[in-house]
Amino acid sequence: MIRIAVATLGCKTNQAESAAMVGAFDDAILVEFGEPADLYLINTCTVTNRTDFKSRNLIRRALKVKEANPAMKIVVTGCYSQRSREEVLSLGAVDYVIDNQHKLDLKELVQQSDPGFMDIMQAEAFNFHLQKGMLDRSRAFQKIQDGCDFYCSYCAVPYGRGHNRSARAEDVILQAQTFVASGYKEIVLGGVNLGLYRDGKLGLSGLLRKLEEIEGLEIIRLSSLEPQLFTDELLEQVTCSKKIAPHFHLAIQSVADSVLGRMGRVYKQKHLSDLLEKITSNLPHAAIGGDIICAFPGETEAEFMETYKFLQESPLCYLHVFQYSKRKGTPAATMPNQINGTIAQERSNRLISMAEDLKTAYRQKILENRVSLRGVIDKIESELASFLSDHYIRGYISKQAHLGELFFLEPNAIYEDGLIQI
Ligand code: SF4
């Protein structure tokens, strides 16, 4: 038996990869981070300065545990260590720094004295590894795409993940069938830039058509999508689908064309409002959420308010709000008029409180229109079990249930942050 302690920062793709890395050890026992173990795995993130800082802290904590357990191996991987390998090695006796392209080969690589380290910009093919399950028993995260070539001016991800590359469709289908055979009823499809998925002539909507045919797969959820990659074909696919959750997370970032231009984003406000109009006319009760970056260099109060007002009047039902974070080596890091932290915090507070109103209004809409909710149980507390529904609202049930079980709900009351059927 091998005792493994894991810490994963960042996106769902990193979460999926950690599960795959640990899942490769058939005889693994998971122990709490901080406890003695044979292997410490830290899957880092570099999306903000804060995640770099957190990555270094996790490595220092592992090094502390190693002082008392010199035989244990420390493995660091992920986007921070991909960009800052020397910085990681300078922290102390880290045994392996594994590049993002080969991280899924972890089990084999820790048998080698020097597994090498690839410049991620050299990665061409998608590194597929069939995995049986996840660390989480409720839903399976399936990474089907990696890398990005958009180079938005604020983003360090392409330097940590390399060029865009996708899994072969047959591998995606095989993995999904394997998850279903392991008892999963919901799969979340993910990638660094999911909308870029392509295997020859087959794009994301074509792949979804194939996945829908899998018996026993009840819910397919899409992770974050670039607005310009939410095509009419994809909209048609999700509209006529019985399995794809009507929950769409858009990487919006800003709505002011002047800011979008400085960010290097390739869509404009008009495109966003047209897209939201199309989604809501096809799926009037869909849950639409988005990432927003506030206080981007040069963002004036007027530009901020343009984004704020657009979102306030939009059909969105939640926001993930980020304050701009200067990333070394990105064009935005050297742009003039960097916004100070106080203004950034104040703008982010305004967006977060407005987003609460959006969430409340959406929950009320779902209740008043008696929209039924579906989902797999992912939380069991004393009296109640609950699930994150296909409409991205938490559904509560007062019945016996087990993790991963599929439930339907005709909600008739508000309960805590979600809805319940009394
Ligand atoms: S689309 Fe832009 S923000 Fe998203 S990963 Fe690519 S470069 Fe980063």
Are 91 and 58 members of one domain? yes
Q: Is residue 326 part of a domain?
A: no
152 Cα: distance to centroid of ligand 1 (angstroms):
6
Q: Is residue 292 part of a domain?
A: no
Are 54 and 82 members of one domain? yes
What total of structural domains would you count in the chain? Answer: 3
Each residue's pLDDT tens digit, 299-326: 999 999 999 999 999 999 999 999 999 9
Q: Is 90 exceeded by the pLDDT of residue 235?
A: yes
Are 188 and 82 members of one domain? no
Q: Are 98 and 89 spatial neighbours (Cβ–Cβ below 8 Å)?
A: no
Q: Are 267 and 231 spatial neighbours (Cβ–Cβ below 8 Å)?
A: no
CA angle 12, 289, 232 (to 5 degrees): 95
Q: Is residue 260 part of a domain?
A: no
Q: Is residue 190 part of a domain?
A: yes
Are 130 and 239 members of one domain? yes
Q: Are 79 and 97 spatial neighbours (Cβ–Cβ below 8 Å)?
A: no
| CATH code of the domain containing 190 | 3.30.750.210
CA distances 320 to 222, 317, 399, 413, Å, are: 16, 11, 32, 26
The whole domain housing 174 covers: 121-245
The residue-averaged pLDDT of 141-160 equals: 97
Q: 48-54 long-range CB contacts below 8 Å, 24 or more apart?
A: 48/322, 48/325, 48/327, 49/325, 49/326, 49/327, 50/325, 51/9, 51/10, 51/80, 52/80, 52/84, 54/9
135 confidence band (pLDDT: 50, 70, 90) = confident
Q: Is 90 exceeded by the pLDDT of residue 137?
A: no
Q: Is residue 388 part of a domain?
A: yes
pLDDT for 269 equals: 98
Residue 4 β-bridge partners? 30, 39
Q: Is residue 293 part of a domain?
A: no
Which of 143, 157, 163, 327 has most ligand 1 atoms within 8 Å of its beta carbon, as the pocket-test mutant? 157
213 confidence band (pLDDT: 50, 70, 90) = very high
| pTM higher than 0.85 | yes
Are 136 and 76 members of one domain? no
Are 71 and 90 members of one domain? yes
Are 154 and 215 members of one domain? yes
Q: Is 56 helix (H, G, I), strand (E, B) or coil?
A: helix
Q: Is residue 350 part of a domain?
A: no
CA atoms within 13 A on the CB side of 420: 14
Are 81 and 139 members of one domain? no
Final residue of a domain: which of 223, 245, 267? 245
Residue 83 β-bridge partners? none
Which of 11, 14, 148 has most ligand 1 atoms within 8 Å of its beta carbon, as the pocket-test mutant? 148
- Residue 293 CA to residue 254 CA, distance in Å, equals 6
192: Cβ below 6 Å to ligand 1?
yes
226 Cα: distance to centroid of ligand 1 (angstroms):
8
pLDDT for 370 equals: 92
53: Cβ below 6 Å to ligand 1?
no
329 Cα: distance to centroid of ligand 1 (angstroms):
14
Are 162 and 173 members of one domain? yes
267: Cβ below 6 Å to ligand 1?
no
Final residue of a domain: which of 224, 245, 266? 245
The residue-averaged pLDDT of 110-123 equals: 94
